[in-house]
Amino acid sequence: MKKRNFIRAVTLALAFNVAAVAPVLAQRQRTETRPERYAAIVIEEKSGKVLYERDANQVLHPASTTKLMTAYLVFKALKEGTLTPDQELTVSHFAASQPATNLFMIQNVTVKESKTGKNGKKITVTHTEPQQVISKITVENALRGMLCHSANDAAVVFAEALGGSQEQFARKMNEEAKRLGMAHTTYVNPNGLPNPRQNTTVEDMAKLATALIEDFPEYYKYFSVRSFTYNGHTYSNTNHMLGNYPGLDGMKTGWIATSGFNLVASAVNNDQRVIGVVFGANLAETRNEDMRRLLDFAFNKLRNPKLRFAYGPEAAKNKPERYVELPPKAQPEPAPALAEKSPESPVTGPESPPEAPKGDIELPAVASPEKMSRPKGSPTAPS
């Protein structure tokens, strides 16, 4: 009997320990794993030097970060005078009918109809039906809608204005991508709505972000718009890191089911600008936290070139271990200290990120420090 009670007590103790440890392991799994579709990169904007990359050339879906290329072509048209900010563009029914997020160019409208009742008398009957309520929109409002609210309808308005159709505009997008050296990018539509043929890489997106900053500095302000009001609705920027990370002043979020949560972001500290790209996070919070870590690391790396980081002590033995925090926790020396939440600050705030640790920390696999190439030259004419 004593032996049986002893075995029962040991079994209960083991079960209790497993139950206690399981949530910890589950929490660690949630915080340290990343899906197969995950990739990230951070570069110095001026030199193009890659400071960190993970699966930078993995072909993924851009989602609404597609709108960065649409913006590139719009900025180009503005610079060349083909478009002007106050110019009104025609909104087709196809553009207005794009699914959310959108600018509610089609709304349910109350319609009154006069009918004859059973007694022969005229009666008024009301019902609601969807109607296009916006037929014209200025370039300025369409840009704000596309880059602040990520409006899919605004992107198609630009595609039809500059290309005649979504398909023709996609050809222009692909020609520009080729000219910019975006070797793994294919565009099918201007807004990033699901299409299996619409693909890119985080490295290509870093090239595009660099081109936007360098080629059109006068229009970069559109990426910093925190909110705007149009047709009675006030829209907030989908990039919630604006104002929540020192010096971060743009660029663009993205999400569709097949892509996960994407973000291209740029920040300035002490006159040094870095560009970060995170693709494929399972949660917006994870995407934003990873971006904070990337930017923190990048600014620390620029101040201390010897700074390195590692995947941890198991990295050398367990080569497939790529589903870890990004940047991963360094061993044996700690990674740069990170606040649980970045302090509130103006988007152009000059605050410095945390101090970098001293000395080298092993890094098993880092991208080449060479500048990413971005071919220059005149784009070819659309076919």
Query: What is the residue extent of each domain of the chain?
Result: 32-64+187-368
Angle at CA of residue 321, ends 36 and 33, nearest 5°? 55
Q: Are strands 260-269 and 272-281 parallel, antiparallel or unpaired?
A: antiparallel
- Helix then strand then coil, in percent of the chain rounded to 5, is 35, 20, 45
In the chain (383 residues long), the average pLDDT of successive 10-residue segments reads 51 44 36 78 95 92 98 98 98 97 88 74 76 96 98 98 98 98 98 98 98 98 96 95 96 97 97 97 94 91 74 41 40 34 28 33 34 46 31
- Position 9 scores a pLDDT of 53
Q: How many CA atoms lie within 13 A of 45 on its CB side?
A: 24
- Cβ partners under 8 Å of residue 362, min gap 6: 308, 310
Structure tokens at 339: 């606040």
Structure tokens at 182: 């975006």
- Position 4 scores a pLDDT of 54
Tell me the whole-structure pTM to 2 decimals: 0.75
Quick one: which of 166, 163, 147, 146 has its CA closest to 155?
A: 146
- Cβ partners under 8 Å of residue 335, min gap 6: 297, 309, 327, 328, 329, 357, 361
The helix (H) or strand (E) run that includes residue 249 is strand 248-256
- Position 120 scores a pLDDT of 74
- Position 119 scores a pLDDT of 77
- Position 347 scores a pLDDT of 30
Angle at CA of residue 192, ends 367 and 200, nearest 5°? 25
- Position 112 scores a pLDDT of 73
- Position 135 scores a pLDDT of 97
Superfamily of domain 32-64+187-368: DD-peptidase/beta-lactamase superfamily (3.40.710.10)
- Position 311 scores a pLDDT of 40
Burial of 233 (0-12, 13-18, 19+ CB in 10 A): exposed
